Amino acid sequence: MNDYGHVQKQDPEVFAALEGEEQREAEGLELIPSENYVSKAVREANGSVFTNKYSEGYPGKRYYGGQTFTDQVETLAIDRAKKLFNCGYANVQTLGGANANIAMYFALLEPGDTVLGMDLSHGGHLTHGHPVTYLTKIFNFVRYKMKDPNTGEIDYDEMREVAKKEKPKIVLAGYSAYPRELNYEKFVEIAQEVGAYAVMDIAHIAGLIAGKAVKSPFDAGFDVMTSTTHKTLRGPRGGLILTRESEEIAKKIDKMVFPGLQGGPHMNNIAAKAVAFGEALSPSFALYAAQILKNAKAMEKIFLASSIRLLTGGTSNHLLLADVFGSLGIGGQEAETLLDRVGITLNKNSIADDTRKPMDPSGIRFGTPAITTRKFGEQECARVAELMVDAMKNKGDDTKLSAIREEIRTLCKKFPVPESFV
């Protein structure tokens, strides 16, 4: 019996899509570094009766009646988030990472204020000021970059110069395609010099911070961290805003999330966040976070041994960015499609100062959070990297590609997606 008996009976078309996705996830390897597999417990909470309930407001301060259990579950999510990230305040209501960033900007800035964020082609994120976002009509975004894309070191001197000139109200750290740790102390120092808030978008590495596999920006004095809950943190899709210690900032954020920008929170999603945060507080989660890093290093080794250029020279987190066009003459789109064919899902990605277009850039981005959930160790990750390189080097050889597809299928059978992690 599958998990979707009622959908199957009532709506065969939706059931077909559900079944197809179940099979795709079971028989292929997920290397998109922002994706993961959640536990059955998280999925049960996400699919629960809480989806029926309107709960505008916050625990103890709601607009509608019937809030005994919504208050209970949201309080659990908040308390667990505070414990996980060792901070004073948590807002668990934002629907995703973009919404968390938008709420953070509106809470801390006035229209026309400036944000100093990472250059997008150097690893930053759309919501950090890409011209296609509406945010750029309201706020002024200025940039810092890597000094050298081959080492990944941020040009902190240039960052300080830009900060002094532009007087940002927020100095923003965080990225979606940057494989190294940042010097958090430098960010805080520069923010303090110009009287700005130090904010980090930890969406990609939230699980690594929670599992203590990497440093926490809060330890260096960051004021606020925004996040998603579904990447390395291995929870349901959603957002999170954390404030280290300032009640004043936390109040501004709560007011901006609701009623400023959102309506009723998705309580089913908040219940699932509570379950995921509970899982992340368990000792096994720290082992998981540490293994993500070891597995990424194992993949790094194979790519470097195969003379494929890795941006920043390698990785210190969960993700890798490879210049496949420069190294193998294969474009990012072609590599994505080819690897999909052998059962490996990853994404094409621009590399620093890419001369190719975003829809067919020079790079691919991949990472280890999901396969580590599947219990892959360094040996299996090294083998996956070898298969990736092999597939790209033999792109016209159908026999070879079929053999690789078979090996991936066998690996997937050996390492099924677990139902529980605690």
247 has binding-site annotation:
yes
Query: Please, what sign has the CA dihedral across residues 115, 121, 125, 131?
Result: positive
d(CA 75, CA 366): 35
What is the smallest separation between the CB atom of 32 and ligand DSN, expressed in angstroms?
A: 6
Instruction: Say whether residue 315 binds ligand DSN (CB under 6 A).
Output: no
C-alpha separations of 397 from 155, 306, 324, 332, 404 in Å: 43, 19, 18, 19, 11
Instruction: Consult the annotation and say whether 319 binds a ligand.
Output: no
Task: Tell me the residue ranges of DSSP E strands in 98-165.
Answer: 114-118, 140-144
Residue 26's closest CA among 419, 412, 421, 414?
412
Q: Residue 35 Cβ, how far from ligand DSN at the closest point, in Å?
A: 8
The single-letter DSSP state of residue 97 is H
Distance CA 119, CA 117 (A): 6
In the set 80, 231, 374, 405, the catalytic residue is 231
Active site residue 228: yes
CB 188 within 8 A of CB 220: yes
Task: Identify whether the C-beta of residue 104 lies closer than 8 Å to the C-beta of residue 241.
Answer: yes
- Using CB under 6 A, which residues numbered 79 to 98 contact ligand DSN? 97
Of the residues 119, 201, 223, 336, only one is catalytic, namely: 201
Candidates 31, 34, 210, 421; binder of ligand DSN (CB under 6 A) is 34
Q: Does residue 56 have an active-site annotation?
A: yes
Catalytic residue among 56, 113, 166, 189: 56
Of the residues 237, 297, 341, 409, only one is catalytic, namely 237
Q: 180: helix, coil or strand?
A: coil
- Active site residue: 4, 40, 43, 54, which one? 54
d(CA 265, CA 141): 29
Q: Report the residue number, 125 or 395, with the smaller CB distance to ligand DSN.
A: 125
* Cα–Cα distance for residue pair 40/373, rounded to 1 Å: 13
Q: Residue 201 catalytic? A: yes
Task: In angstroms, give the least distance from the CB of 127 to ligand DSN.
Answer: 8
> Using the rule CB under 6 A, which residue among 176, 295, 327, 368 binds ligand DSN?
176
Contacts with ligand DSN, 191-230, as mask; x by CB under 6 A:
----------------------------------------
Site string for ligand DSN, 37-76 (x = CB under 6 A): ----------------------------------------
Q: In 51-113, where do the E strands start and end?
A: 57-58, 61-62, 89-91
| Structure-token pair, residue 20 | 């197809």
Is 101 a binding residue for ligand DSN by CB under 6 A? The answer is no
| Sign of the alpha-carbon torsion through 190, 319, 333, 132 | negative
In the complex, what is the shortest distance from the CB of residue 50 to ligand DSN, in angstroms, rounded to a whole number?
25
Q: Would you say 386 is a known binding-site residue?
A: no
Binding site for ligand DSN (CB under 6 A): 34, 97, 125, 176
Tell me the catalytic residues. 54, 56, 201, 228, 231, 237
Q: Binding site membership: which residues?
A: 120, 124-126, 247
Q: Binding site membership for (6S)-5,6,7,8-tetrahydrofolate: which residues?
A: 120, 124-126, 247
